[in-house]
Structure formats: C-alpha cells, structure tokens
Structure 1
Amino acid sequence: MDAVMKALVLAIGIYAVSIWRSLAGLILAGALYLPRRLPWPSTATLKIHVFRGVIVTAMAFLFFWGIGRVPLAQAIALTFIAPLIAMMLAALFLHEKIGRKSIGGSVIAFGGVLVIVLGQARAELGPEVLLGTAAIIGSALCYAGNIVLMRHQALAAKPLEITFFQSLTIAVLWAMVLPFAGIPHLPSPTWGAWVVVAAAMSTAGALLFAWGYARAEASYLAATEYSAFIWASALGWLVFSEPVSFYTIAGAALIVGGCIVAARSKLKAPGEVEVAT
C-alpha cells in the first residue's frame, strides 16, 4: 500500500488521494459491516473508535506526505522508532510485561535503523527531504500511540466494527476539510482505479491488524513491524528506481535479526477488556 500511495501522491497530490481514498475506504468497509446489522457499540467503545480514527488520520497524512519527498526505504526506517515507543506505552498504560527477548530484538533492530540513517547522512539530500523526514517522524510518534490503542481496541470490538468506524471517522474528518479546501478533481480512470486498490489494501490491513492485535500483546507484535523495511526496499528499487545502498542492506540484516529474536518470545493468551457503558 505504501508504494501505491507514494505513486498516487506524486501523481495527483496528497489532498486528492486522501479525500478519494477515504470515500472508497468507507464504501468498502460499509459494504462488509452494515449488511450484518450488528449491535451499535457502547459509548465507551465508540469513543475508542473515534479517538483512534483521529490518530490514524493524522498519522496517514503525515506519512504519505512524507513518502512523496523521501525514499520509501528511508521513510519506513524512520518509522521504526514507533514500535520502540509503543513497547514503553504498552507497559505504562496496558500493564504489559516486556520480555527480555522483545527488548533485545528491538534494540538490535533499532541498531539497523541507525546504520541506515548513517548511510542517508552520507548521501545528498534534496530540498524537501528535511520536511519529509520531519513529517514521517511525526507520523511515527502518532503510530506509537496507535499501536497501543490497537491492542485495547481489538479486545473491545470485532475487526469489522473496528474497520468500519475507523473508515467512517477518517471520511468525516476529511469531509470537514472540504468547505475550506474544495472538492479535488476526480483522478483519471487509471489513477482512480489505483485509489480503489489503495483503499482495498487499507481495509484489508485494518482487518488483519484488528485480528492480530486481539491475539497477541502490543509489545510482542510491535517488533514484527520491522519486516516492512524489506518490502519497502524492494518496491522502492523496483517501482521508483531508488537505490539500495550497502548501509541499507546492512541495516536490513540487523532489522531482520532483531525480528527473529523478538519473535521467539513466548506468547500469552490475551484477556478480555471490560468496557464501561
């Protein structure tokens, strides 16, 4: 999805992509959720849905704006500060116990991120890379809170409900921008089709995240986020001709190694979360 969104941002702009993808995402999520006529969530659960929807909207806007200005692999590497922060937040707010292997794996993976950043520091930077980097770091901070909230939300609601109300919140927030920024032009049929593809990927990802975070602790799953770097490197090179340096390869090796170490932590069955009405 990141590669598709990068191409869309470069082709039609972040505002148009965000508006039309939010509409397509709401239609897809609604088609999956509404026909089931499931009970309306409690007020407390609804507040969680809306709060996370707001965080996801800010997170996505900053990230997708940033990847239009920063190589995809570098952008993903910068987001890897999020799982590290999320582990601390999970321990603080969800009272999760952080295993030594999870900590060790994250430290190894973060060392890989530092190697990549060192390599980028030696390369020539374009005029907008600094702003793009700042936006991606801001997105990573939002994502750290999102990771922890996903765990709490996944124990309080089912994947289809989570995905629908996330899509609804995002669409409402972007609709509130329309009176000020105007309705963007419809993309060409080709790019319009890719907007639908991006929305479908986003919807599928939301469902899978909700399913996964209902079955494992946030501190455990956070470390597995590092595997995204491998796909970002490959797609950045294949689709956007973004070179993969020695620093990138070395960093990726450390990241994968960290994921393997963290994944060896013993899983514990999650308990149910009480949601007050």
Structure 2
Amino acid sequence: MTRHATAIRAFGVAAGGIAVYSAMDAIMKGLSIASGAYAAVLWRSLAGVALLAPVYLARRRPWPTAAALRLHLARGATGGASVVLFFWGLVRVPMAQGVALTFLAPLIALFLAALTLGERIRRAAIGGSLVASLGVLAIAAGQVQARASGDMVLGSLAILAASVLYAGSLILLRRQAQAADPLEVALFTSVVLSGLLLLAAPRFGAWPSASQLPSIGVAALLGSISAVALAWAYARAEAQVLAPVEYTAFVWSALLGWLVFDERVSPYTVAGACLIIAGCLVAIRGPSPGPQTEAAL
C-alpha cells in the first residue's frame, strides 16, 4: 500500500473514531448531568479497563517498555484532566458549542510543539491563530447576545482549558502510538486515568445507580473503540494530516445535541466554528518546518 493510500485509510479510520467518540460524548453528558463529570469519567474509565484488560492479557503481549510507560502516564494524566474539564463544561453549554471550542486544540498543538520540540512557529500558524481567535470571539458574542448565565461562561472557560490540555495529549498520542500498539495505548491510558481519579474518588466520586450501569458500559465500549481507532490512525499518518478530521465532530455534536438534549445551534456558534476551523486549516497547511537553529533564535 502506498503512503498516500495509507494516509487516506488512516483518515477514514480516524473519522469513524470521531463519530463513535461523539456518540460517547452524548452519553457522557447525560451521565455528567446526573452524577457529576468526575464520577462519570471515573466509572467510564474503570469500565474501559474491565473491557480491554482481558483482551490485552489474552493476546499475551509483553509488558510495555519503560519509555512507553512514561508516555502512557503522561498522556493519561494530561488527557484525564482534559476529559474531566471538558465534561464539566459540557454540562453547562450546548454540545455543538463545547465541541467547537475544542477545535482550538490542533492550533494550540502547533505552539506547544514549538515549545517542547523546538519547531519554528510559521507565519501561517500566527495568521491562523488570529482567525481562530475571531471564532472564539464570535461564540462569546453569542453568549453575550443570549445573556448567558455565569454557569455557561464558566463551562466555556473550562472547555477552553480542556482544549489546551487536549492539545498536549495530541502531541503525546503521536509519540505514544509509535511506541505501542493501539490496544496497549487505549488500555494503559484508561488504567492511568482510573488510577489518578481513584485518588480523589472518596471526595468527588459517587456510586452509580443501577439504571446508569448500561450507559456506563456503552460509553466505555464506544470510548475504547474510538481510542483504538485513533491510536491506529495516528500510528500511520502525521498529526497534521489527521487534524482536520476532528472538525467532523461538530456535525455529530450538533445532531446529537438536538436529538438527545433538544439543543439548538445558534448562528454565532456556527460562525465561530467555521472561523476556528478556517484558522486551524490555515495554520497547518504546507510542509512542517524544521527545528530552530541558533542562528534563527
């Protein structure tokens, strides 16, 4: 299979993973409304470990290397904080608006790569960030026009913070996916997340009701399928190739928000999402720049 064909296949698998993850988002929003985001993420993560661990053990895979374990720990911690903040915010804002704000993550990842990997920030990235900033302002204007409550504003700020952390997890995912197979990535990310959340479970956690168990199981299954799909795709294509697939989540979130929560998508949210997407596409176009040299500093 040619490199181009592999990239197309990876893009398709990633698109499927995003669709599945969007369905999980809708279930998790319902669980977060009922029990709180912390408890919902905790029980979904534990259910994910219960689903994936038997499969991993049955394959008799070797224990992860020390380097892979460090990546699993780093991404589990970063992604875990991002997920809790995201679902805490999603309880307070419409799904489409919350997902639109997460589209900043690929753009933020470019700047994080400059800080952590020594890559030069290109003019396109700066221009793209300005366009995307207009998108955030458009969404904020929609909140002002709708006289959004303090809770909705806090929810939007939490999702923006989650986007920064998610950007970091995207950089780690690329390295993680190259160091381990997709099943290992999905399992150990859930293991790390579950372990960290259990530390504060006595204070912030809550036992799920019997009626919530099926939803937790389905959310864990969908989350595991999505995690494996995305890890598989990121192992076979560059992040800049797969970044645009994240934007398909807006369509799914708008549809599911309407069907499940009777949410309406405002023109401000649509305009903001389009500007953020345009900014990200401007920023990631063209070849990746090389690392900085002393002469360039």
Q: Into which bin does the TM-score normalised by the smaller protein fall?
A: 0.7 to 0.9
Structure 2: unaligned runs, 5 residues or longer: 1-23, 289-297
**1:247 maps onto 2:268 in alignment:** yes
Which of 110, 113, 133 is the matching residue for 1:90? 113
Specify the alignment match of 1:272 in structure 2: none
Question: Alpha-carbon deviation of 1:169?
Answer: 0.7
Q: Distance in 1 between matches of 2:255 and 2:263?
A: 9
Q: Distance in 2 between matches of 1:148 and 1:62?
A: 19
The 8 Å contact of residues 66 and 136 in structure 1, kept in 2 or not, is answered as yes
Specify the alignment match of 1:132 in structure 2: 155
Distance 1:259 1:57, change over 3 A: closer
The 8 Å contact of residues 102 and 220 in structure 1, kept in 2 or not, is answered as no
Specify the alignment match of 1:186 in structure 2: 208
TM-score with structure 2 setting the length: 0.77
Which of 65, 69, 73 is the matching residue for 1:42? 65
**1:115 maps onto 2:156 in alignment:** no
Specify the alignment match of 1:271 in structure 2: none
Question: Alpha-carbon deviation of 1:250?
Answer: 3.4
Q: How big is each residue's C-alpha offset from its partner over 1:24-70, in whole Å with a ceiling of 9 and x where there is no partner?
A: 01111212211111111111211111111111111111111111111
Specify the alignment match of 2:4 in structure 1: none
Question: Alpha-carbon deviation of 1:106?
Answer: 7.3
Specify the alignment match of 2:9 in structure 1: none
Distance 1:213 1:57, change over 3 A: same
Specify the alignment match of 2:216 in structure 1: 195
Specify the alignment match of 1:75 in structure 2: 98
Distance 1:34 1:262, change over 3 A: farther
**1:174 maps onto 2:197 in alignment:** yes
Please state which structure has a larger fraction of its residues in helix.
2
The 8 Å contact of residues 106 and 280 in structure 2, kept in 1 or not, is answered as no
Distance 1:107 1:202, change over 3 A: farther
Q: Distance in 1 between matches of 2:185 and 2:33?
A: 30
Letter in 1 for 2:261: F
The 8 Å contact of residues 244 and 281 in structure 2, kept in 1 or not, is answered as no
Three-state SS of the structure 1 residue aligned to 2:147 is: coil
How many residue pairs were aligned?
A: 265
1:1-277, aligned counterparts within 5 Å? 1-94=24-117, 111-178=134-201, 180-181=202-203, 184-189=206-211, 191-254=212-275
Distance 1:260 1:91, change over 3 A: closer
How high is the sequence identity, in percent, across the aligned residues? Answer: 48
Instruction: Name which of structure 1's ranges 105-114 and 240-249 shifts more when overlaid on structure 2.
Output: 105-114
Question: Alpha-carbon deviation of 1:244?
Answer: 1.5
Question: Alpha-carbon deviation of 1:20?
Answer: 1.7
The 8 Å contact of residues 49 and 191 in structure 2, kept in 1 or not, is answered as yes
Q: Distance in 2 between matches of 1:183 and 1:106?
A: 37
Q: Distance in 2 between matches of 1:235 and 1:262?
A: 29
Q: Distance in 2 between matches of 1:138 and 1:66?
A: 10
The 8 Å contact of residues 9 and 65 in structure 1, kept in 2 or not, is answered as yes
The 8 Å contact of residues 101 and 163 in structure 2, kept in 1 or not, is answered as yes
Structure 1: unaligned runs, 5 residues or longer: 268-277
Three-state SS of the structure 2 residue aligned to 1:140 is: helix
Letter in 2 for 1:78: L
The 8 Å contact of residues 107 and 280 in structure 2, kept in 1 or not, is answered as no
Question: Alpha-carbon deviation of 1:91?
Answer: 4.6
Question: Alpha-carbon deviation of 1:73?
Answer: 1.4
Q: Distance in 1 between matches of 2:115 and 2:204?
A: 42
Q: How big is each residue's C-alpha offset from its partner over 1:5-34, in whole Å with a ceiling of 9 and x where there is no partner?
A: 111111222233123212101111212211
Three-state SS of the structure 2 residue aligned to 1:128 is: helix
Distance 1:183 1:249, change over 3 A: closer
